[in-house]
Chain A
Amino acid sequence: MKLLLRFFAALLAAAVTFAARAANELNLFGWSEYVPQAVIDGFTEETGIKVNFETYASNEELISKLVAGGGNYDLIQPSDYAAEAMIRQNLLAPLDLKRLHNLKNIDPEFLHRPHDPDGRFTVPYMSGTVGIVVNTGKVKTPIKGYRDVFQPAFKDRIVVLNDNREIVSWALDTLGLPINTITPENLAKVRPVIAEWVKLVKVFDSDSPKTALLNGDVDLGVVWSGEAAILWHQDKRFQYVIPAEGAHQFLDLLAIPATAKNKDAAHDFIDYILRPEVSKLISDAFPYTNPNREAHRLLSTEALDNPASYPHGDGGKLESFRDIGKAAADIDRLMTDLKSAR
C-alpha cells in the first residue's frame, strides 16, 4: 500500500509547499509508515507547534528533494549512508546537543557510528536489519544464510527486496567481499551469483514484501526486519534469521537541514521523540530495533522477544552501508541487465 500512500503524498507535497510557514510550524520530511500520527499529535498538543508532515519512500528521493527544495524542511529522517553523504556536502546543520536532554536514553552502541563519528549532526531514530524470513510451516530444511535460500529447490518460492544495492550486498557477503567496496572487479565477481539468484526469485518488492509471504505465494524472503517482525507477530511460523554470511544493519536518524528555518522547533521535536514513552509509541506501531534503552523498559515481553526486532545473537556479523556515490549507477545497470536476461 506504500505505493498508494506515495501517490497521495505527492499530491499533498504540492499543497504543503505552498502552505504558510509561520514561526510556530515544523516542516517534517520523513519516511512513509515510520512516524505514528499519535506522536505528531502529542507534540502539537504539548507545544502548540503545528507539524506539516511530508513523506518519502527512499533516501534517494529525500536527497533529490532536499537539494532541489532548499529551505522547505526543518527536520529529516535520513538513513546512515545518506546522512554521511549529506554531511560531506554540508547539507546538515550541527545540532545543539545541550538542548537534547533525552539523548542520554540512547544506547551508546548506536552513537558515533562512522557516518557521523562525532555525533554532531544526527540522532538515532530506529535501527533494523535485512534478513531472511522462513515460513517454517512450508520449509523444513534449516535455513542459515543466503546460500540456503537461493537453491534450485526453492525456485519461485522466494520474495526479495526490489532494491538493487541490497541484492548486490548479499552477493558480496556470500563471496566474503566487503559490502561497501563497489568496484568493477567486485561487481564482475558477484555477477554470476546474482544471475543464478534472479532466476529463482518469484517477487521483487520493497514496499510490502510481507504480502507475498502472507498470501502464500512464496515461502522464503530476504526482507526488512520490521516486515519480518510484523509477520512473526501475526503468525509464529514466520521465523527471522540473520544470514550467516553477514547482514546489512541500517540506522535511520533525525537530522536538521542546514537551510532549516525553524531549528528551535526541530530541536524540540527531536528531544520529544527521545522520551521513553514517546519512543515506545513508535516501537508499537513499527517494530524495528529501538535504540532508546529507556523505552525498552516500557515495551511488552512479546515485543522484546520478537527475534526480528531484537535478534538473539546467532547469525553473521552486521555491517552498515556507506555512501558509494556514483557507483549506484553501475549497480543499477548490472541488475537491469541480469533481470532482463531471464
Chain B
Amino acid sequence: MDTLATPAATSLAAAPAIDRRTPRWRAWLLLTPMIVWLVAFVVAPTAILFVYSFCERDELGRVVFSFTLENYQRVSDPIYLRIFLRSIGYAGLTTAICVVVGYPVAYCIGRASEVWRQRLLLLVMVPFWTSFLIRTYAWITILKQEGLLNGALQAMALVASPLDLLYTPFAVVIGLVYAYLPFMMLPIYGSVEKLDGSLIEAAHDLGAGPLRAFSSVIIPLTMPGIAAGTLLVFVPAIGMFAITDLLGGARVPLIGNVIQNQFMQARDWPFGAALGMVFMGLFAVSYWLLQLRGGASDELHG
C-alpha cells in the first residue's frame, strides 16, 4: 500500500508548494485521515500477521510467541503451490473474460451522449445497492438443477435433461465475473471518456481502417483503464472464498479458502498468517515487475 500512498502524498504536497505562503503542515493535516486509516487498517494488521507467522499455537489455538520457521516450511509444500497456481488460473480467466465482456460495454457507454452515459452508468452501479452475498445466493436460484436457467432451456427444448451448472468450476467463474465486472468496466469507461475523438479521426484520415485504428490508437490510449481494471479484478478475485464455497460447493479449495480455514476450523493462525504473508509477497513482487515493465515501455514511447 505504500506505493499507492506515495504518489498521492507527492501530488498533494506538490500542490501547496506552488503557493509558497501555505505552510506544509496543512498538507499533512489533510493527509492525516488517510495516514491514520492506512496505519490502523493496513500497516498494523500486516505487522501483526508478520509476527504471528513466526509463532506457534497452543492447544486452544492461541498464538504462542516463540520463534519458528515451521509455518514457512509448510507453505513450501507442493500442495499449497498447486493451490496458489489454481487460484491464479481462476483469477486470470476471470480477468480475461471481464476485459473481453467489459471493454465493448465500457466503450459504448463512454462514447454515448451525455444523457445516456449517466443512465447507463447508473445501470452498472445498480447491483451494488444489494449485498454481494444476496446477489451470489440469487445465482444459486438461477443455476440449480430445477432453477431458472435450466427451466428456460428445457422450455425452449434446447436440452433434454437439466444441465449440471451449479457446484461446478463454470459456476465459480460465472460468479467471479459477475462480482467483478463493474470493477473492470468503470476504469475502462474513465479512459474511454477522456479519449480525444480527433485522434481517431486523424487515424482514419491517415488511412487506418477500423481495426487498425482500434488496435493502434484506441487500445493504447485506453490501456491505463485496462491496467487499472485488471488490477482491481485480479487481486480480489484471487483471494475470494465466499463464491467458491457457495457456487462451487467448496469442492476445490482456492487459496482464500485455505487461509480462511486456518483462522476458523483448523485454529492455526500462525500458519494462516504465513500463507497470507507469502501471498502478499507474491503480489508485491508481481506488482513491482509490472511497474518495471511499464516504466521501460514509457521510456520507449517517450
Q: Are A328 and B266 in contact (CB under 8 A)?
A: yes
Q: Which segment, of A106-114, A186-194, A209-217, faces chain B?
A: A209-217
Q: Which segment, of A37-45, A46-54, A156-164, A227-235, faces chain B?
A: A156-164
Q: Are B267 and A63 in contact (CB under 8 A)?
A: yes
Which residues of A sit under 8 angstroms from B62, Cβ to Cβ?
64, 67
A-B contact pairs, 25 of them (CB 8 A): A3-B246, A4-B134, A58-B265, A60-B265, A159-B249, A162-B250, A164-B265, A202-B249, A202-B251, A205-B245, A212-B167, A212-B249, A215-B140, A215-B144, A215-B145, A215-B147, A217-B144, A328-B266, A328-B267, A329-B57, A332-B262, A332-B268, A336-B258, A339-B252, A342-B252
Which residues 75-120 of B sit at the A interface, judged by CB distance below 8 A?
Answer: 79, 82-83, 86
- Min C-beta distance of B146 to chain A, whole Å: 5
Question: Which residue of A is nearest B262, CB measured?
Answer: A332
Which residues of B come within 8 Å of A, CB atoms? 57, 59-62, 74, 79, 82-83, 86, 131, 133-134, 137, 140, 144-147, 164, 166-167, 242, 245-246, 249-253, 258, 261-262, 264-269, 271
* Closest 10 A/B residue pairs (Cβ): A203-B249, A332-B266, A204-B250, A325-B59, A215-B144, A216-B146, A329-B268, A216-B145, A162-B250, A4-B133
Complex: A7 Cα to B241 Cα, angstroms: 14
Q: Count how many chain A residues have C-beta atoms less than 8 Å from C-beta atoms of the other chain.
A: 43
Complex: A137 Cα to B170 Cα, angstroms: 28
Complex: A7 Cα to B134 Cα, angstroms: 11
Which residues of A come within 8 Å of B, CB atoms? 1, 3-4, 7, 58, 60-61, 63-64, 67, 85-86, 89, 156, 159, 162-165, 198, 201-205, 211-212, 215-217, 323, 325-326, 328-329, 331-333, 336-337, 339-340, 342
Interface of B is mostly: loop
Number of interchain pairs (Cβ within 8 Å): 114
Question: Which residue of B is nearest A63, CB measured?
Answer: B60
Which residues of B sit under 8 angstroms from A165, Cβ to Cβ?
265
Partner of A340, one of B83, B144, B147: B83
